[in-house]
Chains A and B, each alone.
Chain A
């Protein structure tokens, strides 16, 4: 088990609740944000290790959130896993170009998401 804090940015109430449940069960500290502006706000305040970021967020979308975080020169920059319902190649490439650390397509396997988050936490520690 790796300890760490996770910010879940997801506007679908049910999904946010499920992710939050999964992260807690994995022994992680979880915060949930339901739109773009509050995601940026919370990321600045609680400085999570990892952000699980949905692309389609109200306010501004996942890409804009990343740009805002970079503008704010968050230090340390949180690791980011992108969650999206869109399986488009170009979205994936755009996300990776923006420096996203990982990418998961909905519907996802719970175990997969948790493992990826943990992997990022370990990398973060090593780095």
Chain B
């Protein structure tokens, strides 16, 4: 059992939670750790679209009119899937123009017109009142439904006639509560562009709650339908219910299309929707996530509408209001907790809508209705007053109260007329009146202010006549005679059959005539009226927002005293923030404000944009105009400048691109140059080393030749000198041969006679050939050559050259007097490994790579330089690498150097053959 106290306590606790979330969200925003910089939070905040009308009313619509309820979801889905075309453009424009509301958007596009802003504001107010009333009604009725269940257990009575007194109190208290919330979290700052982060966070939270509540009731409905339906009667009722629910809506496809169009227009044009989608948007990219996530949300919200409706139709008495099936279906099964959750879901839907709508409307009322009027009243001398920020805040706070009280008044006035959905559609139809002006603003440069005004007024009046009048007439505010036979008896003027258009379903009828009047007025008057310069400029800026950068500053040739501008700004946004704005501007433009004698057009435009964020485009323009002297440039001139800017930007992008390319090229050239220099240096080194190596034997040859020719020497001496000349000549020849050999190897011109060669045999031959080197000089030469498991593909002579080189190096570098050299050859790792180890100085680790370079020995190892070209290892490496092998040096466990050569076998030795061969060799 739910008693009033419990319900009230839960509702108050929930509202308290919302306040806490909003407060926390604001605090996080103040400390720079925003809660809402997430596309998911943004998307959930968009779900403010789903008001109590959707939460409760969709089921009602489904019960009454079948699948027509879907139209509420199809329109937004279409708009969001196509966000690239419409929403992205609106968001981009609004950001660059600091748009604060839909009224501001339309006024700004049509020449920052104050009158247009007023018209839009008034229409929006009138359109929103019924909607707010609807939410209040939903809250109070749902409350009454819950409470009355206790009072009158007879559901049929309870659900059809809730007590009026409770209703009234609940609605009024709700209105007051929402006003407080909106004021606390909607009017903290004055710059509407600063976003109400706490409010958005709370709205997003509410969207989660209502989705969960609805899904919970949906699952419950399915469960209940499945378990309680008795065979026979239940099924019959069920199938009757289903066929009733899934039938095509009354009014045919005309009404279906009308409703879809209405919801498309609504998602763009409803003031609260514009506010949350565009003004509160912190990042354009969030739209791209919302484009699929928001339709997903709507899909989930619509998923269980039919089951709940079916459950309601089969479980509840015929008189029960289908708008509250979401509550009453759980209640019939005694699930009070679930009913309470559903109530909280409905409360979420209602409060979210009311709060956002109140904030959006209060901004519009303040910026587009009150401020222009106050500014116009000269004797108030508003421009000269001190702190206007507080004034603006008070205007908005009062506006919020006014909006909610008006909504409450409307609710009391119209009372019980019409089900929830009907009231909602009235609002949608009003919002749709903005649609032509907005579409024109985005895509049609020739739309004029006069056209927009005419269209809006005509459309609105037609709507009022065809929709509002019948509604009011039915609530007995007007004489019913206006409907039948018509005002003053003129049949052609009957509000629901205008100009003889009979037989149409009333909503389609009203929408048809109002949109016809609106669009015709807009287009025709636009075609026959002229735009003034500012209109044409704004039109160009709006329509071409993606083509041109927003360059409002260039529209004006004007200037103002810096101090006056600062004073103006400070009055609206406070000293501290005005100072900060000027500092930021100065920093961004590399100037010091103090140094500027006169604010240029750019700074004036900057201030105007800031002001527009506080008071709307039209008022901002008026106030800046009062202190800035100058004139608007001609349209053609402005267009030329904009075009030029556009081209300059395009050019500078091109230039940037070019210069990046040039930089890259320059870098490559630098690298190439460095490489060439390195090559050049290597070549110089090589030449000078070669020259040095050649000069040494040449010097000997020359010196001894001169001695022989200049001096008397003994025959013995002469023979000796001639021997020296001869051996130096041979040394010279060998050197030249080696250099030529290396050159050929390096240039790949060497001839290779490749064949299958047994590396162990070649090694043995090499040891035999160099035997003289060791025998002559007290050497301890150890040889351990195992047979190779498989031949290697090689040039036998070249391989021999490598082995001989290693052996003679070992002989040269081994410890003089006590030379020990060890030669090992064995199969290893799919090939053959040769190791030649000496007990000489060894090779220091840092030289292990170096010694394979040309003349490395001559250049870098001055100590104990033995004769030799210094090219042997270089040539060896070339040869080994040509065979696909590896040559390296390492330090053996004892002192000295070890040179290793590894060559791959032609075919890897198989496991069985290898030992056999080894045995055979032994």
Contact = CB atoms under 8 A, between A and B. Distances in A.
B710 to A, nearest CB: 7
A85 B735 CA distance: 16
Nearest to B713: A21
Given A14-B724, A22-B707, A110-B703, A86 B692 contact: yes
Contacts of A14: 700, 704, 724, 728
A40 to B, nearest CB: 15
B703 A15 contact: yes
A25 B696 contact: no
A85 B862 contact: no
B703 A86 contact: no
Contacts of A125: none
A56 B688 CA distance: 13
B895 interface: no
A85 B692 contact: yes
A15 B706 contact: no
Contact of A59 (B688, B692, B863): B863
Interface stretch (A70-78, A92-100, A101-109): A101-109
Contacts of A82: none
A59 B863 CA distance: 5
Chief secondary structure at chain A's binding surface = loop
A57 B706 contact: no
Contacts of A86: 688, 691-692
B695 interface: yes
A107 B703 contact: yes
Contact of B707 (A58, A106, A110): A110
A106 B696 contact: yes
B864 interface: yes
A46 interface: no
A60 B862 contact: yes
B865 A11 contact: yes
A11 B703 CA distance: 16
A88 interface: yes
Q: How large is the interface on B (under 10, 10 to 19, 20 to 34, 35 or more residues)?
A: 20 to 34
B703 A56 contact: no
B698 interface: yes
B404 to A, nearest CB: 94
A18 B862 contact: no
Interface string A58-91: 1111000000000000000000000001111000
B110 to A, nearest CB: 81
B707 A15 contact: no
Contacts of B381: none
B862 A110 contact: no
Interface of B: 688, 691-692, 695-696, 698-704, 706-707, 710-711, 724, 728, 862-865
23 contacts: A11-B865, A14-B704, A14-B728, A15-B696, A18-B704, A19-B703, A21-B707, A25-B711, A36-B862, A57-B862, A58-B862, A58-B863, A58-B864, A59-B862, A60-B862, A85-B695, A86-B692, A87-B691, A106-B698, A107-B695, A108-B702, A110-B706, A111-B710
Given A15-B699, A85-B695, 19 more contacts: A12-B699, A12-B700, A14-B700, A14-B704, A14-B728, A15-B700, A15-B703, A18-B704, A21-B707, A58-B864, A86-B692, A88-B688, A106-B695, A106-B699, A107-B695, A107-B702, A107-B703, A109-B702, A110-B707
User: Lowest 9 A-B CB distances belong to which pairs?
Assistant: A85-B695, A107-B699, A106-B699, A107-B702, A85-B692, A18-B703, A110-B706, A14-B700, A106-B695
